[in-house]
Amino acid sequence: MMKEEEFTFFEAYLSEELSEEERLSFENRLKKERELSEAFNNYKELYGFLEHKFTTEKATEAFTKNLSEISKGYFSSKKKTKVIRFKPWQYAAAASVVLFLGITMFNNFGGNPAYSDFAVHETLSLTERGNQNKLYLNAEQAFNSNNYEQAEQLFSEILASNPNLVEVELYKAISLIEINQFTLADTILLGISNQNSAYKYSAKWYLALSKLKQKQYDDCDLFLKEIPVGSDVYELAQELLSVL
Amino acid sequence: MNDKKTHRDQLYIIGLLNNDSIIIKEIYEKFAPKVIHYICRNSGNEHDANDIIQEVLITIYHQAQKNNFKLTCPFDAYFFLLCKRMWFNVLKKTSKKEVTINEEILSINDDASLLSFETIEFDERQQLFEEMFQKLGNACKDLLKASFTIKSLQEVADKLGVSYAYVRKKKSLCVGKLTKLVQGSPVFKKFKN
């Protein structure tokens, strides 16, 4: 263990209070005595630590405070975006992300995300809008039981008499992605995403998912990036972007 | 490391150093989602991600302040690895199961990997030093605080009502005591290996 005098010597050396002769002899000892040089290096590092600790205390405090406010702002605005989510396919997509989180723990290095990780469609409820039409009920049931081929046909029937139902169009496109009819799905989705409707960005999201399923990652990336902050699917898009 | 070119993302380091809110917000917007996603997928939640991100940014801030820190890789990679490693450290502490980070063996020669290792070690050393500092007696703590905040030891002596020679000697003995505490800690011995 170091003697107390040695520390006094370290201090004098660091504050350049030694004579030339003393300095040289100390440096010479540092070269020869391992224990001394180790202790001196530790002393120097701790000296630096203390200097830093006390001279930057106020700046660090200000930084930490500012950081915690920015962080609070960031995370609370994230939560707000979440509350706005209300469309069934968004719940579905969110649920699928949770599922995705569950099954890919510690296991997502290298390789691209899969379509199925991000798109699990749950309950569609067209009849909630007071429409008890049997066709609508059947379409809903087919979609909700993952019978996408039948759902697609029924959605087409609905659209034949009501071509302006954008929501049904969107579900038709989702069904088409599910049964790998990408060309038609993408055409419908592009149409929706180019109009101004409540489904504009959901259409972009599904376009991205369609590209993901087609393993066209660059296109997927492009569509995701067209989804602006504040839209309902922004967070999902960012989540997918982060693993692409 | 010093002969390597500084990456243009050094602007984030400078932004942190200057406590620049715009840059800090940008860091959150651009780089936080990936970390949140990662932590949520690995036994954590958004709250954990929030803590880790803050901790990592404070560590980068300290390192940048002290060591004239030079970023030689994209900020994204460096920041993400740091968050990941800090999160694994938390998991290691809280869970009994063995946690491994396999993919890092592959990228060990990366600048990002090296830099983040350096930063983590820097952080661990600082934490140890702080912990040992807290073990010093109040007399030492007060004297060290005064002598590092007030630059002139004479002023410190006047303030504490003691002689200059006493302050000077006491200061070196207190730093010496801290040195001994650090050298004697098992964590510090681990650093050396």
What's the pLDDT tens digit per position in B56-104?
Answer: 999 999 988 876 788 988 999 999 999 999 998 888 887 755 555 545 4
- Check whether B135 has a pLDDT greater than 80: yes
CA distances from B132 to B58, B65, B181 (A): 20, 22, 6
Which among A147, A90, A149, A141 has a CA at the least distance from the CA of A120? Answer: A90
Q: Which domain holds residue A35?
A: 4-55
Q: Over the range B38-56, which residues count as b (16 or more CB within 10 Å of their CB) and which as e?
A: bbbbbbbeeebbbbbbebb
CA dist A136 and A84 (Å) reads 26
Residue A157 sits in the same domain as residue A210? yes
With a threshold of 0.90, tell me whether the complex ipTM lies above it.
Answer: no
Residue A29 sits in the same domain as residue A101? no
The domain that contains A216 carries what CATH number? 1.25.40.10
Please identify among residues 208-237 of chain A the ones whose CB lies closer than 8 Å to any CB of chain B: 235
- Check whether B118 has a pLDDT greater than 80: yes
Name the domain count of chain A: 2
Q: Is A242 part of the contact surface with chain B (CB cutoff 8 Å)?
A: yes
CB contact under 8 A, B173 and A10: no
CB contact under 8 A, A48 and B66: yes
- Check whether A240 has a pLDDT greater than 50: yes
Closest-CA residue of A relative to B25 is: A70
Q: What are phi and psi of A195, to 5 degrees?
A: -100, 160
Give me the half-sphere count of Cα atoms (radius 13 Å) on the Cβ side of residue B99: 17
CB contact under 8 A, B176 and A48: no
Residues of B in contact with A108 (CB under 8 A): 41
CB contact under 8 A, A43 and B62: no
Q: Which residues contact B191 (CB under 8 A, 6 or more apart)?
A: B121, B124, B125
Q: A170 in a domain, yes or no?
A: yes
Determine how many CB atoms are found less than 10 A away from the CB of residue A157.
Answer: 15
- Check whether A129 has a pLDDT greater than 60: no
Residue A182 sits in the same domain as residue A232? yes
- Spell out the long-range contacts of A139-142 with Cβ–Cβ below 8 A and sequence spacing 24 or more: A139/A168, A139/A171
Residue B108 binned pLDDT confidence (cut-offs 50, 70, 90): very low
Apex B119 CA angle, A242 and A36, nearest 5: 170
Range among B39-48, B123-132, B155-164 with highest mean pLDDT value: B123-132
Of A62 and A160, the structure prediction assigns the larger pLDDT to A62
CB contact under 8 A, B148 and A70: no
Cα of first residue to Cα of last residue in chain A, in angstroms, is 56
Residue A94 binned pLDDT confidence (cut-offs 50, 70, 90): low
State chain A's mean pLDDT as an integer.
81
Q: Which residues contact A74 (CB under 8 A, 6 or more apart)?
A: B25, B28, B29, B32
Q: A180 in a domain, yes or no?
A: yes
Residue A46 sits in the same domain as residue A107? no
Of A7, A66, A242, the CB nearest to B19: A66
Which among A146, A112, A122, A89 has a CA at the least distance from the CA of A214? Answer: A112
Residue A26 sits in the same domain as residue A144? no
Q: A63 in a domain, yes or no?
A: no
Residue A168 sits in the same domain as residue A113? yes
Residue A93 sits in the same domain as residue A214? yes
Q: Tell me what percent of the residues of chain B surpass a pLDDT of 70.
A: 89
Which among B124, B126, B140, B145 has a CA at the least distance from the CA of B190? Answer: B124
Residue A94 sits in the same domain as residue A50? no
Please identify among residues 68-127 of chain A the ones whose CB lies closer than 8 Å to any CB of chain B: 68, 70-71, 73-75, 78, 100-101, 104-106, 108-110
How many residues belong to chain B? 193
CB contact under 8 A, A60 and B61: yes
In Å, how far is A93's CA from the nearest CA of chain B? 15
Of B177 and B160, the structure prediction assigns the larger pLDDT to B177
Of A7, A57, A106, the CB nearest to B172: A7
Of A11, A68, A105, the CB nearest to B172: A11
Q: Which residues contact A52 (CB under 8 A, 6 or more apart)?
A: B62, B65, B66
Q: A69 in a domain, yes or no?
A: no
Helical axes A200-213 vs A88-103, angle rounded to 10°: 40
The dihedral through the CA atoms of B100, B102, B105, B107 has a sign that is negative
- Check whether A90 has a pLDDT greater than 70: no
Domain boundary (A55, A76, A96) is at A55
In Å, how far is A242's CA from the nearest CA of chain B? 5
Instruction: Kindly report which listed range (A118-127, A147-156, B177-186) carries the lowest average pLDDT score.
Output: A118-127
pLDDT at A121: 62
pLDDT at A128: 52
CB contact under 8 A, A105 and B175: no
pLDDT at A103: 47
Place of tokens 């290691």: B92
Q: A61 in a domain, yes or no?
A: no
